[in-house]
Amino acid sequence: MQIVKIALDVPLHRFFDYRVPENEHLNSSDLGLRVCVPFRHTTKIGIIVGLSETTDIPLAQLKSIETVRRDLPPLPPDWFRLCEFCAGYYQAPLGEVMLSTLPASLRRTNPPKAQLSRRTVKQRAPHPPPELTAEQQAALAKIVDDGLGFRAYLLHGVTGSGKTEVYLRLIERALAAGKQVLLLVPEINLTPQLEARVSARFPEAGLVSLHSELSEAARSRNWRAALEGTARIVLGTRLAIFTPMPELGLIVVDEEHDASFKQQDGMRYSARDVAVFRARERGVTIVLGSATPSLESWANATDTRTPGRYTLLSLRQRAVEKATLPVVQRIDTRREKLQDGFSGALFEAIEKRLLRGEQSLVFLNRRGYAPVLTCTGCGWISHCARCAANLVLHLADARLRCHHCGFETRVPKACPTCGNQDIHAFGRGTQRLEEVLAERYPQARILRVDRDSAKSRKQWEALSAQIYAGEADILVGTQMLAKGHDFPKLTLVGALGADAALFAADWRAPERLFAQLMQVAGRAGRAELPGEVLIQTEFPEHPLYAALIRHDYPGFAGEQLKEREQAGFPPYAYQAMLRAEAPQMADSLAFLATARAWPDAELYRDVMLYDPVPMRMARLANLERAQLLIESPSRRTLQVFLSEWRVVLDKIKSPSRLRWHLEVDPLEF
């Protein structure tokens, strides 16, 4: 009798023993095949992870595999090692990790019939590469001279400096060596432009994309092409880091600072950090690129106490001849009265662009018409009934929406509390800015770009095409427009509402704000037309804005890292967060208090457990949420502690509706 160990998608840190049916014989080459197995009262897809001669289960009770799926090659050993690393580091069940990385159709016991792709690929002549700048040549020469094997490079280049062209030259080199390439981007909206550029340069390389907007069949087909080696370039968002690629030779992470690389549910992993591990484990080059790198990556590249972690490569000039970095100016809103949220200087700058036939971008990272609806009579505010948040007014479709839990309702005609009909929108969102601009400039073509107007990739592509074709004069947008886009006629960026992040409770807020403003500022003046950036602020003397004016990311990052080292924050400490949610806050806090009271925690003197506290968003979707921060100056010590502590957490008795999770290297507080 053959016995196999199977990984299943269940929240248990163990494998399951099954008997191999008499009509099957498995050997070590079959490790990584998918199987259908009975589990409780259903059938599940599992993965063969081991062969065994013994089992702790009585043979009479040992269930048998139903079928062995041989429609795909076995999942490769390096994929197993990648999943094992993630399960160990992020304290997640290995079976859950393995199965969650597969396309949905490969996790089904009754998968849909495979359909042939109807997409016709037009064979085009490769686009000739542009001439490299001296800085681009130096960056490429450094990577080439360092030779083969694992090396991590941080490519820091100002917006428009030609980082993508460096990626393309490295991809060309990897393809010529017979290797596959994995190119990661943070968001789906960045893939169409980059996909078109990569496809135009390498029309016969077998480029596939992997992201959540793909149909189930397309995602499965592209994933299979990568596993079988027919796809030589994989372009994808964070989950693509787990794509099996037998001949992987290069990994590129574009906009490596972006928080979208961090998964916020299930296994809470950082695709950027997993990419570095994968490159090291496979012995290949990895390039992390950004105009505003994460402070963790910047420290790895610049800290003289830990030399050699990352190699810093810098592009300080824009790649297009005559293109210069935009002039950044602060508008002191303490001295200038705003009109519907706009300063006179910003209105004047927009009018100049309209006369010259150039494009302007008004940036506000808040969608909807207004953040809240309020009653002037009794003080009623449009709170969400399910969350500790306000319902945002979306006037275009007359709805109040929660941007956290998704709850929505109609806009009331009168105050629900006192009946007063004098209810007002308070604050501004992108819809309201669009309305103000339309009233002031009726002849202008105004285009709003946010999550409401571009809910799908197809909608975003249509909006993007309008902008490129010059069919919009004024853009009103959120962070969707802040990165990765190259609009040659855009010469003005006006930033509104930035001050709120300067004094936020989250110590990462300044880093995020600087990156956001520097990225959105970089949309201006990317061609021959000069660019200008106007930032409306009540704190014009703040050092963050001074660094923006100088386009001085290194100076800003250096000061931020000094502050973090003094405060004992990452990257000079390592953190984990235990969170619990339940219908009652008392239950959430009680669970965390029990977890904190583990007697053996005292043995770990370098591990600090803080007090349980309600989360900043204490109520979400009718659940009360609390958290417990764990911190240590040693990553290894923290990992050892978490591995033992997690076993204790699994045994804590708690109310049936309480849910908890453990997050390593949390980004949100």
* pLDDT tens-place string over residues 243-284: 999 999 999 999 999 999 999 988 999 999 999 999 999 999
Q: What is the pLDDT of residue 414?
A: 93
Looking at the structure, tell me whether residues 497 and 534 fall in a common domain: yes
Looking at the structure, tell me whether residues 489 and 352 fall in a common domain: yes
CA distance 445 to 438: 8
CA distance 533 to 494: 6
Q: What is the pLDDT of residue 125?
A: 64
> Of 558, 583, 603, which residue sits at a domain end?
558
Looking at the structure, tell me whether residues 262 and 397 fall in a common domain: no
> Of 90, 107, 124, which residue sits at a domain end?
107
CA distance 488 to 494: 17
pLDDT > 90: what percent of the chain?
77
The total of other beta-carbon atoms located within 10 Å of residue 5's CB is 18
Q: What is the pLDDT of residue 484?
A: 64
pLDDT over 60 (residue 236) = yes
pLDDT over 70 (residue 114) = no
In a domain, 463, yes or no: yes
Residue bearing the bigger pLDDT, 370 or 230: 230
Q: What share of the chain is helix, strand, coil (3-state, %, to 5)?
A: 35, 25, 40
Residue bearing the bigger pLDDT, 123 or 65: 65
pLDDT over 70 (residue 3) = yes
Looking at the structure, tell me whether residues 540 and 593 fall in a common domain: no
In a domain, 515, yes or no: yes
Q: What is the pLDDT of residue 10?
A: 95
- Parent domain of 655: 574-664
Looking at the structure, tell me whether residues 551 and 612 fall in a common domain: no
Number of domain units in the chain: 4
In a domain, 116, yes or no: no
In a domain, 383, yes or no: yes
In a domain, 392, yes or no: yes
CA distance 358 to 524: 11
CA distance 392 to 401: 5
Looking at the structure, tell me whether residues 267 and 405 fall in a common domain: no
Peptide bond into 666 cis (omega under 30): no
Looking at the structure, tell me whether residues 332 and 479 fall in a common domain: yes
CATH at residue 615: 3.30.70.360
In a domain, 566, yes or no: no
pLDDT over 70 (residue 118) = no
Q: How confident is the model at residue 651 (pLDDT cuts 50, 70, 90)?
A: very high
608 pairs with which residues across the strands? 631
Average pLDDT, the chain: 92
CATH at residue 493: 3.40.50.300
How many residues are there in the chain? 669
pLDDT over 50 (residue 119) = no
In a domain, 31, yes or no: yes
CA distance 638 to 623: 29
> Of 534, 558, 582, which residue sits at a domain end?
558
CA distance 454 to 449: 6
Say which DSSP state 9 is in.
S
Q: Which three-class secondary structure state does DSSP give residue 661? A: strand
Looking at the structure, tell me whether residues 590 and 498 fall in a common domain: no
pLDDT tens figures, 26-52: 999 999 999 999 999 999 999 999 999
Give the H/E segment covering residue 579.
Answer: strand 574-582
Looking at the structure, tell me whether residues 144 and 92 fall in a common domain: no
Q: How confident is the model at residue 78 (pLDDT cuts 50, 70, 90)?
A: very high
In a domain, 124, yes or no: no
Looking at the structure, tell me whether residues 292 and 372 fall in a common domain: no
Q: How confident is the model at residue 117 (pLDDT cuts 50, 70, 90)?
A: very low
pLDDT tens figures, 415-447: 999 999 889 888 889 999 999 999 999 999 999
Looking at the structure, tell me whether residues 246 and 271 fall in a common domain: yes
Say which DSSP state 123 is in.
P
CATH at residue 65: 3.40.1440.60
Q: How confident is the model at residue 116 (pLDDT cuts 50, 70, 90)?
A: very low
pLDDT tens figures, 155-188: 999 988 999 999 999 999 999 999 999 999 998 8
Q: What is the pLDDT of residue 596?
A: 98
Looking at the structure, tell me whether residues 138 and 237 fall in a common domain: yes
CA distance 268 to 210: 19
